[in-house]
Amino acid sequence: MAQDHDTHVSILGLGAMGGALAETLVKAGLRTTVWNRSAGKAEILVARGATESASAAEAVRASPLVIVCLFDHDSVHEVLDPLVADLAGRTLINVTTTKPEQARELAAWAAGAGIAYLDGGIMAVPAMIGRPGASILYSGSEEVFREHAALLDLWATSTYYGEDAGLASLYDLALLSSMYVMFAGFMHGAALLAPAGVSAGRFAELAAPWLTAMTGAFEGFAEVVDGGDYQVPGQQSLEFSNLRLFIETSEEQGVSAEPIAMVQRLIQRQVDAGHGTEGFARIIESIKHPVA
């Protein structure tokens, strides 16, 4: 479905991400109204055809579709609560990073005010918006998602996860959690090699293909976890996965062992509970059932 260039959309928030979202719509020829709390961020967009509003209220009244990309959940309410009457009957798509329960709260707030609501989790950095590889996850109103699919696809590959407005946020945080732990592991590896005079750049050359190859193990781990049998033959046992050597080497290299020590604690809890011969995937039980 081609995007209707007569669509008028307002974007509240012109930080790095909000600015990238707005720029993509302007480049696509959509009538785009923008607003930012602090001045000075709209000049380039205005020069390219956007309209800048002096207030959030003015921006909301300008369009039937309002996109919100602000700092956090509190800032969304701070900006939108005074505008609830103006928002009634309009569509609100919130791509501010929030917790799942905050997204659900916003959806309930919107429903009570007669506002159609869709929540989004952006799996991209600003420079990726409008380019291959960017992905945005959505949940909430399916009607809103379907109606504005062409516009949403201008930004990234769009995937809808259901009416529960908190699901997009939950998927978003789950994916980002995996990313940050991986990044921490890379930093730990680079720190281990630094005393030997190995640059982080050289380590990156080795780590990127290695970690990419290791992602092939995800499917197997997932099958074990979903099946609930951690004794499936062929798995590396928790006892064999003892990471004490990694911790001791970190100490000898004079660097923190915190990233790998975290994994060792997850392993050790299962070993102490009598599951040492079971597969590595069992550490999910340590994560799902944290100690008090």
Print pLDDT tens along the chain (292 aa): 445 557 899 999 999 999 999 999 999 999 999 999 998 899 999 999 999 999 999 999 999 999 999 999 999 999 999 999 999 999 999 999 999 999 999 999 999 999 999 999 999 999 999 999 999 999 999 999 999 999 999 999 999 999 999 999 999 999 999 999 999 999 999 999 999 999 999 999 999 999 999 999 999 999 999 999 999 999 999 999 999 999 999 999 999 999 999 999 999 999 999 999 999 999 999 999 998 6
- Distance from C-alpha of 114 to C-alpha of 30, rounded to nearest angstrom: 25
Q: Are 79 and 140 part of one and the same domain?
A: yes
Are residues 120 and 20 part of one domain? yes
**pLDDT value, residue 2:** 45
- State the Cα–Cα distance between residues 177 and 184, nearest whole angstrom: 11
The backbone region for 95, taken as left when phi is positive above 0, alpha when psi lies in -120 to 50, beta otherwise, is: alpha
- Predicted local distance difference test score (pLDDT) of residue 131: 97
In a domain, 174, yes or no: no
Closest C-alpha to 14, from 1, 27, 5, 23:
23
pLDDT (0 to 100) of residue 7? 85
Examine residue 217 and state whether it is found in any structural domain, yes or no.
yes
Whether residues 153 and 13 share a domain: the answer is: yes
Based on the domain organization, do 12 and 139 belong to the same domain?
A: yes
Considering the domain architecture, whether residues 12 and 66 belong to the same structural domain is answered as yes
Q: What CATH number should be reported for the domain holding residue 78? A: 3.40.50.720
Q: Are residues 81 and 154 in the same domain?
A: yes
Residue 67 in 3-state DSSP? strand
Domains held by the chain: number? 2
Token pair of 146 as six digits: 């379907």
Whether 15 and 152 share a structural domain = yes
Alpha helices (H) along the chain:
16-27, 43-47, 56-62, 73-80, 84-87, 100-112, 142-147, 149-155, 167-193, 200-214, 218-227, 244-253, 258-272, 283-288
Beta-carbon contacts of 186 under 8 Å, excluding residues fewer than 6 positions away, are 203, 204, 207, 211
Looking at the fold, whether 127 and 255 belong to one and the same domain comes out as no
In-domain check, residue 193 = no
Cα-only R_g, the chain: 23
What's the sign of the alpha-carbon dihedral 107, 111, 113, 119? positive
- Same domain? For 111 and 207 the reply is no
On whether both 113 and 210 belong to a single domain, the answer is no
CA dist., res. 73 & res. 29, Å (int): 30
Q: Using CA atoms in the order 20, 23, 29, 32, what is the torsion angle rounded to 10 degrees?
A: 100
Residues 150 and 207 in one domain: no
Q: Are strands 51-52 and 31-35 parallel, antiparallel or unpaired?
A: parallel
Would residue 170 count as lying in a domain? no
Q: Do residues 149 and 124 touch, judged by C-beta distance below 8 A? A: no
The residue segments making up the domain with residue 223 are 199-288
pLDDT value at position 1? Answer: 41
| Same structural domain, 21 and 160 | yes
In a domain, 171, yes or no: no
CB-based contact 88:115 (threshold 8 Å): yes
Phi-psi category of residue 66: left, alpha or beta, with phi > 0 → left and psi -120 to 50 → alpha:
beta
Domain edge (last residue) among 164, 186, 208: 164
